[in-house]
Amino acid sequence: MSTYLPNIGPDSVSSVRQSTTNLESEDKKEEVYHQENVNDVGLPVGHGHLVDENLVRAENEDKVTPYFVFLISIAAVAGFLFGYDTGIVGSALPMVGTDLGHELDDNEKEIITAGTTIGALFGALILGSYADKLGRKWAMAIADFFFTAGAIIIASSFSVAQMIVGRLVLGVGVGGAAVIGPLYIAELAPTAVRGRCIGINAFFIPFGQVIASALGAGFDAGVDYKIGWRILFGLGVVPSIVQLCLMHWLPESPRVLLLRGQPEKAKDTLRTIYSGAPEDVIDFKLKVIAQYVEATTIMQRQFSLKERAKKYWSHKPYRRALIAVCGMQAFGQLTGYNTLLYYSGTIFGLLGLKNGAAAGLIPSGGNALFLFIGMSLVDRVGRRKLMMRIYPGMLIGLVWAIISFHYLAKTTGGVLEAGNTYPPALVGSLLGAILLFVASFGLTYSHMIWYQSEFLALEIRAVGSAISTCFCWLANLVVSVAYLTQLRTLGTVGTYGMYLGFISCGYVFVYFCYPETKGLSIDETRQIFEDDFGVKKADAMLKEKRQIAAGLHSQA
């Protein structure tokens, strides 16, 4: 790809930005105007809401270098840890037996499973809120510490209380990683490949779950349960220690460096990301980022913590952006996918499958495969378009599963009973329904919820990511803490009928509140929510960008 706007130097960007920022009231609402200096190439100025960063592409910006692959992969280890430590419980917990003093009942299993979710709420809120002060890089390092400590506590547990404490500690790391990983990657990745880069982190989550299921299946078949479950939980320390050891080679986000008043270090990071780009393009990109960093410093300088917290809701563009990302996170969890993950050993064991842990590879493996396909398509197809086209597959898959559950449990009062023999044809039908549901989930929610940083203005990006991730874990808690109880009280049809209702509501939410961000730089997406949820405005911005880019190409 050739440079869209050649020969841009520092002098030519002196008139790029004209901005006023006022967040004191909705009567004097924040206004940030960005003016392209496109008249230098004989083109008309746009409508005043486009940002230059996406038009000024470095040479081969959409080609990812080996170093950048290394950088994103190491950052995405946080996603792997997230996936492994949330997925391993489904395989390891059935192996515990009486090792914690007695046979675990359903309530204890639910509390142990939900312990990570509760810890993740605190981890997301605390580490996300301090991500600007700590920096993205060291916030991830703190998350690694909690991953390591939690895994050690769990693996050495000899009581239910100790295991719950370990799961809570581990959860702090999971919650921090869920916020910081995609936030860090979104701020480093070039616009042209940002979706795929965030998708790598999202892919590592189900990949970690696949590894957890595969190890669980192997240990279930050939390792003494008394040591097997301890090893499975303890293995979580390996990737966290690896990431800690490699943290030295990860650069800090250029936006954080600018917040700290370190423009030269920020420029060095940009040179690393856009290797081979001319110095004038690096300067231009730095200036574009600096425009938005200024908004953050103004907000922190003028408002107290309490006033800033109030502004997140009272300032309408912030509120709309937060509703969009929080809604996506919550509805992604309320699909019920995680019930298949956390309780795979229990569910497939009740269905009569000999190795329930191996059967757990169906949801985790299917999710990983189709998430990989989805993240490969997202920058070409678009976020919203992919959601709207694939979402009905989840609805169809869940309806199919409900019908299968109805006939499977018809003779047992609507519940699955251990020791009961179920017709292989109906079990096969249920597995087919689960696969369709998981495939659709993998193509959509599984990675789409982690694009949350794209929707949030820099001044609320870290805290907003923390808030939305808390909604993820709150919804996850609703699913994980009550699932086995729901199966007993509502039955299989009632339980998954409830999830079908949640998914239907989620489809309506996506239609009205989830705008397209494909092709928009991470800083200019803030413009989308100025007047409403921006579904139409985003389309208009993208159309104008294509027109200007085409004009610039014709002048090149």
* Whole-number CA gyration radius for the chain: 24
Provide mean pLDDT across the span 117-127.
87
3-state DSSP of 492-516: HHHHHHHHHHHHHHHHHHHHHHCCC
Bridge partners for 7 per DSSP? none
Residue 19 pLDDT: 34
What end-to-end distance do the CA atoms of the chain give, in Å? 12
Residue 244 makes CB contacts below 8 A (sequence gap 6+) with: 141, 144, 145, 148
pLDDT value, residue 61: 55
Q: Do 96 and 229 form a contact (C-beta atoms < 8 A)?
A: yes
Selected residue with higher pLDDT from 118 and 308: 118
Give CB contacts under 8 A, 24+ apart, made by 242-245.
242/77, 243/74, 243/77, 243/78, 243/81, 243/140, 243/144, 244/141, 244/144, 244/145, 244/148
Report long-range pairs for 50-53 (Cβ below 8 Å, ≥24 apart). Answer: 50/524, 50/541, 50/544, 50/545, 50/548, 51/288, 51/291, 51/521, 51/523, 51/524, 52/5, 52/13, 52/16, 52/284, 52/288, 53/191, 53/285, 53/288, 53/289, 53/521, 53/523, 53/524
Count CB neighbours of 544 within 10 A.
14
DSSP string, 176-194: HHHHHHHHHHHHHS-GGGH
Each residue's pLDDT tens digit, 337-356: 988 877 777 778 778 776 66
Q: Using 50, 70 and 90 to split pLDDT, how confident is the model at 60? A: low
Residue with more model confidence, 359 or 479: 479
Model confidence band, residue 54 (pLDDT cutoffs 50, 70, 90) = very low
Q: Treating both helix axes as pointing N-terminal to C-terminal, what angle do 136-155 and 106-129 enclose, rounded to 10 degrees?
A: 160
Q: Residue 42: pLDDT above 50?
A: no
Determine the pLDDT at residue 433.
94
CA-wise closest residue to 56 among 196, 190, 172: 190
Rounded to the nearest 5 percent, the helix, strand and coil shares of the chain are 75, 0, 25
In 131-262, alpha helices (H) = 131-134, 136-155, 160-188, 194-222, 225-234, 237-246, 254-259
Look at residue 166 in the predicted model and tell me its pLDDT: 94
Over residues 223-245, the mean pLDDT reads 89
The share of the chain scoring above pLDDT 70, in percent, equals: 84
Say what the pLDDT of residue 63 is.
59
> Percentage of residues in the chain with pLDDT exceeding 90?
25
- Quick one: pLDDT band at residue 453, thresholds 50, 70, 90? confident
Beta bridge partners of 457: none
pLDDT of residue 36: 35
pLDDT, residue 57, reads 53
Distance CA 45, CA 366 (A): 47
Is the pLDDT at 28 greater than 60? The verdict is no
Convert 510-552 into a string of H (helix), E (strand) and C (coil).
HHHHCCCCCCCCCCHHHHHHCCCCCHHHHHHHHHHHHHHHHHH
pLDDT tens figures, 486-534? 888 888 899 999 999 999 999 999 999 999 988 777 767 778 898 889 8
Q: Report which of residues 260 and 23 the model is more confident about.
A: 260
497 Rama class: left (phi>0) / alpha (psi -120 to 50) / beta: alpha
Is the pTM value of this prediction over 0.95? no
**What is the pLDDT at residue 25?**
45
Secondary structure (DSSP) of 430-459:
HHHHHHHHHHHHHHTHHHHGGGGGGGS-HH
**For residue 237, which amino acid is it?**
V
Cα gap 463→553, rounded to integer Å: 39
Between CA 431 and CA 447 the distance in angstroms is 23
- CB atoms closer than 10 angstroms to residue 222: 8
